[in-house]
Amino acid sequence: MSSNQSVLVLEAGRAERHYWRDLWRYRELFFFLAWRDILVRYKQTTIGMVWALGRPLITMLVFTLVFSKLAKLPSEGAPYPILVFAALLPWQFFASAFSGAGDSLISNAGMISKVYFPRLVIPASAVIVSFVDFLISGIILVALMIWYGFTPSLRIFTLPLFILVAFAAAMGAGLWIAALNVKYRDFRIIVPFVVQFGLYISPVGFSSSIVPEQWRLLYSLNPMVGVIDGFRWAILGGDTRLYWPGFMLSLSLVMLLLITGIVYFRKTEKTFADVI
């Protein structure tokens, strides 16, 4: 045993000085939890992989049919299925991370009331699970590009940056909903509503360029608008233009969401064990 052990002091309302170091120490738990959820998901379903691929594929087909064939909306030069799918990827990541994180603390209530670890690990690993699904669905996008003989421009190399933004948005919203859900259980009802409603107010089935110019800044108050536009800009290349004021607005809102999410989560996490 080392002689110079650090002394841990527990006091009411005392901020955890070693919180981030602790979080780093528990990184293995974080991977184990994500690994458990992925393993369990694919163990229980016989067609697990097919399910992860089928859902976005069917959604894409329906959206293409409705928005392109019936509503005859413009496709910005790229095949409409690719236009839809470039948006569906980040949207489904966000939606599943949001609802996954929202439920994560409640479904791990047993662990929270019996063991200490930085609680941030739980919603974060729920987001990771959704991220794995996101990567799997990415295969479809590649397949679509090959099918249509679509070659992306060099802008595709900026995609990781936009993935990072999508990650931040999912994490921020996920932390908020996770913490709120512990205290006020009615947020459980709000989650499916946000996910469903968000699909319509985000430019998933159509390009945000059809939104009239004077409304675009207002439209960008939805942080997912910036994320989706960024994805399209990176993937589709060509004529797609990024509406910079709107993107910057979305980006700042994502950052705000993430920072306030972390602050709120950290403020409430010490009482989780008492109320859960």
Partner 1 sequence: MSSVISVENLSKKYIIGHQKQEGYTSLRDVLTNGAKHLTDKLRHPFAVPENDPTHEEFWALKDVSFDIQQGDRVGIIGRNGAGKSTLLKILSRITEPTSGKISIKGRVASLLEVGTGFHPELTGRENIYLNGAILGMSKAEIKKNFDEIVSFAEVERFLDTPVKRYSSGMYVRLAFAVAAHLEPEILVVDEVLAVGDAQFQKKCLGKMEDVGNEGRTVLFVSHNISAIQQLCGSGILLRDGVMRETGPMDKVIESYLDDSTLIGKESIGDIPRARHDYGVIARFVNAWPVNSKGERTTSFMSGEDISFDLDIKAFEKVDSLSIVAGLDTYMDYRITTVLSEEVGMLFSGNKDAVISVNVKVPHLHLKPGTYALTLGIRRNKSPLDHVVKAIRFEVSEVSSSSGSYDSSKRGDILTESAWHLL
**Interface with partner 1 (CB under 8 A):** 1, 5-14, 26, 28-29, 32-33, 36, 39-40, 43-44, 108, 110-117, 182-187, 270-271, 273-276
Q: How far is the CB of 178 from partner 1 (least distance, A)?
A: 13
Closer to partner 1 at the Cβ: 69 or 185?
Answer: 185
170 to 38, 95, 257: CA distances (angstroms):
18, 8, 9
Q: How far is the CB of 7 from partner 1 (least distance, A)?
A: 5
Amino acid at position 64, single letter:
T
Of residues 11 and 239, the one with the C-beta less far from partner 1? 11
Nearest to 112 by CA among 37, 33, 227: 33
- The residue type of 132 is V
| CB contact set of 173 (below 8 Å; sequence gap of 6+) | 94, 97, 98, 101, 257, 261
Q: Which is nearer to partner 1, 111 or 156 (CB)?
A: 111
Residue 213 in tokens? 């110019």
Cα 52 to Cα 62: distance, rounded to the nearest angstrom:
17
Q: What angle do CA 20, 25, 30 make, to 5 degrees?
A: 95
CA gap 99, 44 in Å, rounded:
20
The least CB distance from residue 40 to partner 1, in Å, is 5
Q: Do residues 76 and 236 lie in contact, with contact meaning Cβ atoms separated by under 8 Å?
A: yes
- Residue 122 or 166 having the CB closest to partner 1: 122
Q: How far is CA 125 from CA 84, 111, 132, in A?
A: 28, 14, 11
Rounded to an integer, what distance in angstroms lies between the CA atom of residue 1 and that of residue 7? 14
If the CB atoms of residues 106 and 211 are measured against partner 1, the closer one turns out to be 106
Residue 28 C-beta: closest distance to partner 1, Å: 5
Shortest distance in whole angstroms from residue 44 CB to partner 1: 6
Q: Which is nearer to partner 1, 36 or 69 (CB)?
A: 36
